[in-house]
A and B are shown apart, each in its own frame.
Chain A
Amino acid sequence: MPAHEITRRLRRMLTGSPDTPCVAVGNFEVEEQWAKGELGLPKVRAVRSNATVGRMEEFTLFLADSGDAVVLRESPDDDYLSYLDELGVGLPDVVVVARSAADRTVTEDALDDPGIVTKMERYARRGAHLWPHGVSASEERLATVAHLPLAVSGAGVSKEVNSKIYSRLVVGQLGLRQPEGTVCRNLDEFDAAVRTAREWLAAGRSVVLKDAFGVSGKGILVVHEAARLELASRMIHRQADRHGTGRLALVMEEWLPKRQDLNYQFTVGRDGSVRFDVVKEALTRAGVHQGHRMPAELSSAHLAELRKTAKAVGLRLADDGYTGVAGIDAIITVDDVLHPVIEINARNNMSTYQERLRELFFSDGEAAVALRHPLTLHSRISFGDLRRRIDDLLLSPGGRAGVIVHNFATVNAEAPTAGAEPSGFPGRLHAIAVAATPQQADALSQALQARLDELTAPQDQVTGRSATAE
C-alpha cells in the first residue's frame, strides 16, 4: 500500500482507489513523439540526441512508491537508492529493460524486451496501472502488451491537449486572458498571421512563432524585425512545399516582456474532478527551463486567478476526455498583468516528481529552490564519491534545511561508452535546496554548485554547461 498521502490522493483521483499500485515509466521524450509528422518551424537536427534527457527517467522514483515499480534503462546507483531510503522517500521495485538504445525511449526499450510481460506479470496480477510521463502510441502499446491499464488518458487526447493550438482555442473559448495572437493550422492561416505580425512589428511590437508541438524551450522563434519575419515565412513555405502539404501546426502571438514565469499543476480525476496542486516560480535561462522556486512570490489576487483558471481549464480538459496531471505555464508581464495560460502540458511535470518531497520536507512554510546544476567530469562518479564531497550540505532525515539530490542518473548520462576515447563530458545534478528563507535556500544552492565546480575539468577540455539542454 502506498505510504505517502500525496501518492494515495493521486491514485484515488486517477484510478478510483488510493491503493492502486502503479508502474511508472519516465519517457521524458514524449513531446518529441507527439511532434513527429507535424510541420511547424523548420526542423533542425543539428542538436545531438541528449542522453541526459533520457536519464531524467530516474525522477520516476518519486512518482512510484513502495509496492510500485519503475521501468528504467539502467539500474540506479545502489548508494543513491540507500540515500533515498534514509530520507523516507519510499522505494519502488526497479525493473531494468533488457537492452537500451540511445535513439529509443525507455518505452520502446521495454517493448523490445522479450521478457517484459513476465517482468510486469506480478504487477498486472495485483491490478497495477501504467503511469507514463506522458502518453504516446508507444505507451499505449506497452499498456496493452503488459496488461496494465493506463492510469491516465490515451495518446490521442494527450497529444491534442498538449498542442498550443488547443490551448489558444480553449483559453479563447473560456474567455481567459492570453497574449494576442492566432493559430495557424494551414498556410492560409499562417499567411493571415504574417500579415497581422507585419502590422504589429511596424507598430513596435514583437511577435513569437511557436511550434504547436514544440518541446519545452525549443520550437520558439522571437521576431523583432520585419526582415526576420519574411525570412521565417519563406522558410516555412519552402518546408511545406517540400512536404507537399498546406497543413501546419504553429501559433503566432505577441511577445510580451515578462517579469515572472510561473508553472502550476492540477490533476484531472477519472470522475472529472479537478484539484489544484501547486504553483511555483519557474526559473529559466534563454527560454530553457532551469528549475523552480517554491513557494512562488504571488499576490493573493494572482493566486486566486490561477486557482480559478486551473478549475476552468481542468473542467474543460475533463469534458474533452483528459485524465491525469496537467501543468500550465503562465507569465506575469512587467506591467503586472497575469496571463494565466501560456501553454498546457498534458503530462507529468517537474512538480509531479517534487510533490512527495514537498510533503515530506517543505510543506510547512520552508523555502525551496530546485535547480539543475551543471558539472563536468573526466570519468563517471559514484553517488558515494559525490556524497563524500557534499555530505555536509545534504538534508538529514527530519532536518529543516539542506540539499536533496533529486536525480543522480543525469550526472553520468553523457559519460563516454566503454572503449571510447576518454574525454571530459558534461553532467547535470538535479537538486532541491530547502531552508527557512529563499535567501538561505539560494546560498545552499550556490554552495552546492561551488562543490560541483571543483570537479570541473580545465576549460580547454569542455565547458561546464550542457550543450544540449532540453
Chain B
Amino acid sequence: MEHIPAPTVSQATTPAGDALTHAVIHSVATLLNQDATTISPQTRLFEDLALDSTGVLELLMQLENDLGAEFDPETLEPADFENVESLVAYVAKQGDA
C-alpha cells in the first residue's frame, strides 16, 4: 500500500484539508486492510465498509496513532460517521478544539 505522510490535525483547512482527507482514508484502509484507492470521501463507513461499533473505536485509535491526535469518543455523533467526508470534518473539528 502506498505510504501517505500523515498531516497533523491542525492542517484541516484547504489545501491541507485534502491532505487530512487522504490521511483519514489511509487510516481507514489500514484498519480494514483494504486498498485506499477504493475509498473516497463519499464512502459510507457502515453501509459500504461494514464498520460496526467495535470498528468505530478501533478506527479512532488508528486515527490517534496516525495523526498524533487525541479524540473523545463521547463527542461523536452518528452523523460524524456517516461517510469519510463527515469523519474528516469531525477530525478537523476536534483538532480545532
Which A residues fall within an 8 A CB radius of B? 41-48, 217-221, 227-228, 231-232, 234-235, 238-239, 242, 286-288, 462-463, 465, 467-469
Is there an interface contact between B61 and A232, defined as CB atoms closer than 8 Å?
yes
List, sorted by A's number, 11 A–B pairs whose CB atoms are closer than 8 Å.
Answer: A42-B57, A44-B60, A46-B80, A47-B46, A47-B81, A217-B54, A228-B61, A234-B70, A238-B72, A242-B72, A463-B47
Is there an interface contact between A286 and B52, defined as CB atoms closer than 8 Å?
yes
| Majority DSSP secondary structure for residues of A touching B | loop
| Majority DSSP secondary structure for residues of B touching A | helix
Is there an interface contact between A221 and B47, defined as CB atoms closer than 8 Å?
no
Determine whether B58 belongs to the interface, using a CB cutoff of 8 Å to chain A. yes
The 5 nearest A-B residue pairs measured at CB = A467-B46, A46-B81, A42-B73, A231-B61, A46-B56
Is there an interface contact between B61 and A44, defined as CB atoms closer than 8 Å?
no
Is there an interface contact between B47 and A235, defined as CB atoms closer than 8 Å?
no
Q: In whole Å, how far is A198's beta carbon from the nearest beta carbon of chain B?
A: 17
Instruction: State which of A47, A232, A235, A463 has its C-beta within 8 Å of the C-beta of B53.
Output: A47
**Could you tell me the distance between the alpha carbons of A42 and B71 in the complex, rounded to whole angstroms?**
10
Is there an interface contact between A468 and B54, defined as CB atoms closer than 8 Å?
no
Instruction: State which of A45, A220, A288, A465 has its C-beta within 8 Å of the C-beta of B77.
Output: A45
Within 8 A of A (CB), among B55-97: 56-58, 60-61, 64-65, 70, 72-74, 76-78, 80-81
Determine whether B1 belongs to the interface, using a CB cutoff of 8 Å to chain A. no
Using A232-B61, A239-B74, A468-B46 as known contacts, list a sample of 17 further A-B pairs with CB atoms less than 8 Å apart, ordered by residue number in A: A41-B57, A42-B60, A44-B56, A44-B74, A44-B76, A45-B77, A47-B53, A47-B56, A219-B54, A231-B61, A231-B65, A235-B60, A238-B70, A239-B73, A242-B72, A286-B52, A463-B48
Q: Which residues of A contact B76 (CB under 8 A)?
A: 44-46
**Could you tell me the distance between the alpha carbons of A42 and B72 in the complex, rounded to whole angstroms?**
8
Q: In whole Å, how far is A416's beta carbon from the nearest beta carbon of chain B?
A: 16
Q: In whole Å, how far is A210's beta carbon from the nearest beta carbon of chain B?
A: 11
Within 8 A of A (CB), among B13-51: 46-48, 50
Q: Which residues of B contact A231 (CB under 8 A)?
A: 61, 64-65
**Could you tell me the distance between the alpha carbons of A242 and B54 in the complex, rounded to whole angstroms?**
21
**Could you tell me the distance between the alpha carbons of A269 and B86 in the complex, rounded to whole angstroms?**
51
Instruction: State which of A47, A227, A235, A462 has its C-beta within 8 Å of the C-beta of B52.
Output: A47
Is there an interface contact between A44 and B57, defined as CB atoms closer than 8 Å?
yes
Residue of B nearest to A49 (CB): B78
Is there an interface contact between B73 and A469, defined as CB atoms closer than 8 Å?
no
Which of A46, A220, A232, A467 has the most CB atoms of chain B within a 10 A radius of its CB? A46
Q: In whole Å, how far is A215's beta carbon from the nearest beta carbon of chain B?
A: 9
**Could you tell me the distance between the alpha carbons of A238 and B94 in the complex, rounded to whole angstroms?**
15
Q: In whole Å, how far is A43's beta carbon from the nearest beta carbon of chain B?
A: 6
Is there an interface contact between B73 and A48, defined as CB atoms closer than 8 Å?
no
Is there an interface contact between A242 and B74, defined as CB atoms closer than 8 Å?
yes
Is there an interface contact between B74 and A221, defined as CB atoms closer than 8 Å?
no
Q: Which residues of A contact B70 (CB under 8 A)?
A: 234, 238
